[in-house]
Amino acid sequence: MTSPTSSRAAFLAQYRAVRDRDGYRRDSSGYYRALPSTPHTDPQHIVWQVRARSFERFRTMVRARFRGAAPALLDLGAGNGWLSYRMTLDGCRAVAVDIHDDERDGLGAGRYYDVRFARVQADFDRLPFEPRRFDVVVFNGSLHYAPNTRATLTRVAPLVAPGGVIAVIDSPMFECAETGRAMRDRTRQRFKRDYGIAEPIEPGEGFLLFSALADTARALGFDAQFFESCGGTRWALGRLAGRVRHGIQPARFGVWWAA
């Protein structure tokens, strides 16, 4: 039987290899400090356009809700810490959490920033924090990696202080599971074609369902809203081409906000 530790190591090795090939892993402080802004020449510029719009929406909502305060923010699936960095500059007391401590694409990339924020290596299903500690808990492009989304949100909810919020940013979201599974199948095919990975290691479903999120929010006593983010012309054309080719609606991205 494969142990959880060895499974995690295998997933991280796969994740690192894919991210390296896709152009996310860098050795430049300028690159990390500018995120989510990237030049047009960046191989992931189209993706970062959407992420930048989601982030601006998220930051605006945090500012409006906690006006004049310095909210405590928990950044789950923080990756290289770009969101924690940006929110620290905005006056938040940020804690970046990820299982990946890589110095070019994980928590170790914190060395590139010119302000400091707390960085904790942990699984977001096993968090070492006291209840009601955070005003904002945000899953930063990461909740779709959870083996059980409802269970993860249920574990995280007690960490939210009274009046606080849970946000989910830029996980692929769908109205129906069939469409999500079709996207996941195409991703598997791409991994095999582009990376030579015949059997991708998938810790979670790889997508979220609006209905499941809404049910979980209600059960936890939150009211939830979704604000969609769109990219530029190339992004829109790519989605249209994919819809025509595969005959299904593409994933939706943006900010899911539960307060």
Q: Any alpha helices (H) in 157-232, and if so which ranges?
A: 177-190, 210-220
| Percentage of the chain lying above the pLDDT 90 cut | 68
Domain span at residue 200 reads 4-258
Give me the count of residues in the chain.
259
Q: Which two tokens stand for residue 197?
A: 């990975």
Tens of pLDDT, residue by residue over 20-68, are 788 788 888 999 999 999 999 999 999 999 999 999 999 999 999 999 8
Which pLDDT value is given to residue 244? 64
Which amino acid would we find at residue 257? W
DSSP string, 3-17: -HHHHHHHHHHHHHH
For 50, what's the count of Cα atoms within 13 Å in the CB-facing half-sphere? 24
Which pLDDT value is given to residue 3? 52
Q: Do residues 136 and 74 touch, judged by C-beta distance below 8 A?
A: yes
Tens of pLDDT, residue by residue over 203-237, are 888 999 999 999 999 999 999 999 999 888 877 77
Q: Any alpha helices (H) in the chain, and if so which ranges?
A: 4-22, 29-34, 45-65, 82-89, 149-156, 177-190, 210-220, 233-246
β-bridge pairing 254-258 and 208-209: unpaired
Q: Which residues pair with 252 in a beta bridge?
A: 173
What confidence category does residue 197 fall into, taking pLDDT thresholds of 50, 70 and 90? confident
Q: What is the DSSP letter of 252?
A: B
Q: Which two tokens stand for residue 45?
A: 């510029």
pLDDT averaged over the chain?
Answer: 91
Which pLDDT value is given to residue 1? 44
β-bridge pairing 254-258 and 160-169: antiparallel
Count: domains in the chain: 1
* CATH code, 38: 3.40.50.150
Query: How far from 30 is each of 16, 39, 90, 96, 107, CA to CA, in Å?
Result: 21, 12, 18, 20, 16
Q: Which two tokens stand for residue 64?
A: 């409006």
pTM beyond 0.85: the answer is: yes
CA–CA dist 99, 121 (Å, integer): 5
Work out the burial of residue 249: count CB atoms within 10 Å of its CB; fewer than 13 is exposed, 13-18 middle, 19 or more buried: middle
